Amino acid sequence: MTDQNPFASMMKMGQDWARTLNPALESFTPKGFEALLPTMPKNVLEMFMGKTLNPDGLDAKTRLLITLAGLTIQGAQAEPQVRLTVRHAREAGASKQEIAETIAVAGLFGGVPAMSKAMELATEAMKEDKT
Q: Where are the domains of the chain?
A: 1-36, 37-126
Cβ contacts of 28 within 8 Å, gap of 6 or more: 14, 15, 18, 19
pLDDT tens-digit series, residues 45-101: 777 777 777 788 889 899 999 999 999 999 867 888 999 999 999 999 999 999 999
CA distance 131 to 129: 6
pTM: 0.69
DSSP 2: -
Cβ contacts of 111 within 8 Å, gap of 6 or more: 75
pLDDT at 88: 92
Q: pLDDT grade, residue 36 (50/70/90)?
A: low
CA distance 82 to 6: 24
Task: Specify whether domain 37-126 bears CATH 1.20.1290.10.
Answer: yes
